[in-house]
Amino acid sequence: MKPPPSHGKPRPRVVIVGAGFGGLTAARRLAKFPVQITLVDRRNHHTFQPLLYQVATAGLSPGEIAAPIRWILRTRSNVEVLLEEVVDFNLQQKQVVTREQVIDYDYLIVASGATHAYFGHDEWEPLAPGLKTIEDALEIRRRVLLAFELAERHAAARQAARLQTDDQGGDTQGEPLAESPLRFVVVGGGPTGVELAGTLAEIARHSLTNEFRNFDPRQSRIQLIEGGPRVLPAYSESLSRKAEQQLQHLGVEVLTNHIVTRIEPGAVLAGDRKIPAQVVLWAAGVAASPLGKQLGVPVDRAGRVLVGPDLSIPGHAEVFVIGDLAALNDDEGKMLPGVAPVAIQQGEWVARTIARDLGDEPRGNFHYHDKGSLATIGRAAAVAQFGKFEISGFFAWLAWLLVHILFLIGFRNRLLVMIQWAWSYITYDRGARLITGRDDLPGWIEPKPGVEANFEANDAGAKTATSGNGTKGNT
């Protein structure tokens, strides 16, 4: 579409809230037209969220999946970037209210994304961090790596105590050390949960095998809890089954039909089972940004704004909501998923719609073109669905790798990620294993006495019950 002539008129001001996939795409497309763009975000960088789990599991460094917003838009002279936090909107006066100032607009695009959803149990967040930002990824990395270090320290202390008992003439010589394995629990069987669980299993089974002297990381237990009947519920049943088989092959214990009812220090309660865990990670759900409710228009149960077919909000054709914050059904009546391709296509669509308005052309309706879905599980393990065409295993993993590298911002990032992944594929090495952050935050939570025994009894009963229905037979 050619830019419409300005005829000496003042350029309309477009304010974009959020520099995620949708907001950044809209800014880059709109920069070609005679408008003045103000992009507002409370962080100075754009994060490639599909690879956050790689930062959380020490495969990549933050700078390899993120880029400064100003650097991305440095060649767009009609775009200004403000490091601000939006707190409110005045739709009648066409104003965006931040903590520092009030910004006027002619068009407004709200693309502030989503955050964690603990289903009314926000007290679980300190015990089970989610994964939405670089800060979240670094905190998860800290807890995961610290758990292995503390497991080694505890094992060394037990070994020293045993040797001391032997020297004093005790009768423990030759007996195996009584120690509980290191346990990780990932709550949520969607793409993020599957990625975290599979990568944790690879770290424990391969990356750290020769680095500890008193503790064997291969004895760690990684459990994935899903409240529904299968993992990756957005995929076909056959791909979900293959994904579960690949997880089990990596050493992940998959617990489906287990709804988490409580998280406490050192344990997760799911139904009538109390599962001990030194580290719990949350991947069970997301909630829309609270800014959606500030618009004063109808929202759904998850807080997503109910937008019109052209992605504008009721009563305000100049205000658009896109990405994870928007609630819109596709052509088949299904809610559009909160994934990057949806946000990117919506950002492009809104930019074209504003250009049509400037050229006095009629608007159309947004239609999402689903080009397929991919989810990685581990090294050479993934599933991919392109319409009715499905693949799994190495070729799905290769397709996932190529697609994600293609969408990374900047040639430098693509090159670094390719080198890191090639090296990790050959050596299983995790090159970003730095423990950083606050020392007063929890990293290791020892299960309370009695939890281990209760769990083992329940676990044995569960395995006996599932052995007859084929659930475990797929391995």
What does the DSSP 8-state code read for residue 270?
A: E
**Contact present, 261 and 120 (Cβ < 8 Å):** no
d(CA 246, CA 394): 11
Q: Across the strands, what pairs with 45?
A: 68
What φ, ψ does residue 105 adopt, rounded to 5°?
-145, 160
Token pair of 73, please?
């838009």
Q: Report d(CA 202, CA 378) in Å as an integer.
A: 7
Q: Is 390 a catalytic residue?
A: no
Helix axes 394-407, 411-427, angle to 10 degrees: 150
DSSP states of 364-381: ---------EEEEEETTE
Which residue among the candidates 84, 139, 195, 348 is catalytic per the annotation?
A: 195
> Looking at the DSSP assignment, which residues form a beta bridge with residue 90?
95
Position 308, amino acid? G
For residue 295, which of 80, 29, 88 has the smallest C-alpha distance? 88
Do 258 and 275 contact (CB within 8 A), yes or no?
Answer: no
Q: How many other CB atoms sit within 10 Å of the CB of residue 464?
A: 9
Six-digit token string for 103: 């910004």
Residue in this structure with the two tokens 């880059």, named with its chain if needed = 28
What residues act catalytically? 195
